[in-house]
Structure formats: structure tokens, C-alpha cells
Amino acid sequence: MLNKSAKLSPKIFDKDIDQKPTRDGYGQGLVVAGEKNPNVVVLCADLTESTRSHLFAEKFPERFFEVGVAEQNLATIASGLGVSGKIPFVSSYATFSPGRNWEQIRTTISYNDSNVKIAGAHAGISVGPDGATHQAIEDIATMRVMANMKVFVPCDAVEAEKATVAAAKIWGPVYLRFGREKMPVFTTEETPFTPGKAEIFWESSGKGSRAKKPQVAIIGCGSLVHNALLAAKDLEEEGIGTMVINNHTIKPLDEKTILEAAERCGAVVTVEEHQVLGGLGGAISELLARKLPMPMEFVGMQNTFGESGEPKELIEKYGMGAKDIKAAVKKVLKRKR
């Protein structure tokens, strides 16, 4: 059942649930952060409206910088601002930033611990018709291995706004990952959000239903957290108990919450709109390999590129729908037994 302390939307399983892209939350978060702190500035690489940076540009035109199609310059200019007392946010598609300017981010931002926030929009295969060249499915992996870098992957537009505002208050480099497609808005203003703190959204109790107590911990991030909740609801009706954890901070990882959940359940399934190698699944498996080895399954892109198509169709084709999460839970349960 839903965790009451998570304070999620009562419409979470309704077909008419509100839907917004997480990039909308980023744009709104920029405005809020800019209102709170005059040192917040925003730079963009010729994708102002697509990344929703235009909301900040309209509100604070004197603090907005259009760099043009030059992602390497975007990073290096921001790095200078970040060591000069400003709090720069750089906005582009994730395939371009950090995709095209990874070396500049590494050398001029992370190496210098410059106070820069990198927003990678249009991430994942849900970019849809834009196709494989624009579907960033490696960015979590490439950014989380970078020293000094923090990595946030919000699950909906409300959480995206909170993550953006929080990033402005944190010293040092932060990577924020956002999507293009509209997705369910199932968290609320009251839903807890603390950088570095994973939140339990669902926990089977074994009371009042056929479900047993949690047998598998489903740990997700980003857009697929909602699919994980849909899967958990179906599994409970089948008598399979689960726990769903929204792990919005990939780095630093909330080791305490994850280890406690894993110890209680004895098996883990990770869920992400990203390659299963190196992303959330990689981070969780590294932790468990060191401290609590157990059966795991990984839902995500399985060492392949995407293709052009409708976002929901691609999610299903590449094995990231609710039915695929259910299948992964049942598979890991067999291994656990």
C-alpha cells in the first residue's frame, strides 16, 4: 500500500492524473531559485524554450546568457562564473551537455569544484521521435563517476522543481536530469524531498490484502518510479509484497535506507530509463556487492540504443513498462528462493 508519510497525490492510479514534463519543473525551479538568490544565473545553448530556461530569461533577462550552439563554451563560461561567486545553471539536451562537453565539465567544473549546476534535458528514450542520436541513456553513468559531482534524477515535475531549488543551495557541481515527455505528477508539495535521502513510496504490510510483507525492494528513479508503483499495486493483488523506493539522488547514494530495505526484503529490482550498466542499477549493485550481496534484477535499456517512436511505445518495447517490472520481481523471487 502507499506509504502515508510520502504524502503522494490521491490520483496516483487514476487515468486522469495530471501530466507534465519534468523540464517544466526545472524551469519553474529556476525562477524560484532566482527569486531567492540574486547570484543565480542561467546559461543556455540555443535551446531556451525546449529546456524551459525561457521562464528565467523572461523574469531575469540581465542574469540570462545565450551562448549559442557551443556546448563546450557553455561549460567553460559557467565554470568561471561558478568560482566567482555566481551560481550558474547550464541548460541543454543531455546528449549535448554532458554528452558533447563531458571533458570541459570534468576539467573546468568538477576538477575545480566549481559551483555549477548542469541540467540535461530530453534524457531517456521517451524523447521519442527524435531517435537514438537524441536519446541520452548513458548520462547518469558518465556523470556519477566524476569526482565532486552530485546527480539528481527527479521522478515528476513537482520533484524537479524541488531538486532545482535544492541544487542552488548546495555548493559544488550538480547534474540534474529531466525529460521531454509529459508524465504523471504524483508527488505533491508536501512529499518529502531531501538531497541524498531516498524515500519509501510503497510498502506492503500483509494486512487487509492478500499481499505478504515486502519480499522485493523495487528501487527506481525518474519517470519510471510511477511504473514501479503501478507494478507494486498489481503485485500486491497477486499476493506478492514489495517496497518501492524513489531514489532521486544517485550520488551521493542513501546507503542507509537502501541497505535497510534490502536487508528486510532479501532481493532488489532497480528501475531506470537508462542503460542498466553504470546508472542507478550500477550504483545499487556496487553498494550491495560491498555490504550485502543478494539477488538483483535490472530494468532499463539492455545494452542497446533506442529508435524513433512514440514515447510510451518505446518504454514498452524496451522492457520498462509496469508489466516488465512485475516480471523482474517474479524472476528475482525465484532466484531468492
CATH assignment of the domain containing 239: 3.40.50.920
* pLDDT digits 0-9 by tens, 210-250: 667 999 999 999 999 999 999 999 999 999 999 999 999 99
Q: Please state, in angstroms and rounded to a whole number, the distance separating the CA atoms of residues 275 and 195.
A: 23
Q: Give the model's pLDDT for residue 336.
A: 84
User: Has 71 been annotated as catalytic?
Assistant: yes
By CB neighbour count within 10 A (0-12 exposed, 13-18 middle, 19+ buried), where does 212 fall? middle
| 312 and 279, same domain (yes or no) | yes
* pLDDT digits 0-9 by tens, 89-146: 999 999 999 999 999 999 999 999 999 999 999 999 999 999 999 999 999 999 999 9
By CB neighbour count within 10 A (0-12 exposed, 13-18 middle, 19+ buried), where does 13 fall? middle
| 256 and 314, same domain (yes or no) | yes
What average pLDDT does range 59-78 have in this prediction? 98
Catalytic position from the list 58, 62, 71, 313? 71
Query: pLDDT at residue 209 above 60?
Result: no
* pLDDT digits 0-9 by tens, 151-192: 999 999 999 999 999 999 999 999 999 999 999 999 999 999
What average pLDDT does range 36-53 have in this prediction? 97
| 136 and 171, same domain (yes or no) | yes
| 86 and 211, same domain (yes or no) | no
What average pLDDT does range 278-286 have in this prediction? 98
| 114 and 259, same domain (yes or no) | no
Share of the chain above pLDDT 70, in %: 98
What average pLDDT does range 286-313 have in this prediction? 97
C-alpha cell at 12: 496516483
| 33 and 87, same domain (yes or no) | yes
- The residue out of 184, 212, 233 marking a domain boundary is 184
Query: pLDDT at residue 208 above 60?
Result: no
Q: Please state, in angstroms and rounded to a whole number, the distance separating the CA atoms of residues 284 and 309.
A: 30
Q: Note if the bond before 252 is cis, omega within 30 degrees.
A: yes
- The residue out of 184, 202, 218 marking a domain boundary is 184
Q: Give the model's pLDDT for residue 207.
A: 62
Please tell me which residue, 266 or 336, carries the higher pLDDT value: 266
What average pLDDT does range 82-90 have in this prediction? 98
| 204 and 148, same domain (yes or no) | no
- Band of pLDDT at residue 205, cut at 50, 70 and 90: confident
| 132 and 171, same domain (yes or no) | yes
Domain range for 250 is 4-11+191-336
| 93 and 177, same domain (yes or no) | yes
Which CATH number goes with the domain that contains 128?
Answer: 3.40.50.970
What average pLDDT does range 284-300 have in this prediction? 98
| 282 and 200, same domain (yes or no) | yes
The 10 Å CB-count burial string (b at 16+, else e) for 240-270 is bbbbbbbbbbbbebbeebbeebbeebbbbbb
The 10 Å CB-count burial string (b at 16+, else e) for 84-103 is eebbbbbbbbbbbbbbbbbe
What average pLDDT does range 73-81 have in this prediction? 98
Query: pLDDT at residue 337 above 80?
Result: no
| 101 and 128, same domain (yes or no) | yes
| 105 and 222, same domain (yes or no) | no
Q: Give the model's pLDDT for residue 89.
A: 98
Q: How many domains does the chain have?
A: 2
- The residue out of 155, 184, 213 marking a domain boundary is 184
Query: pLDDT at residue 38 above 90?
Result: yes
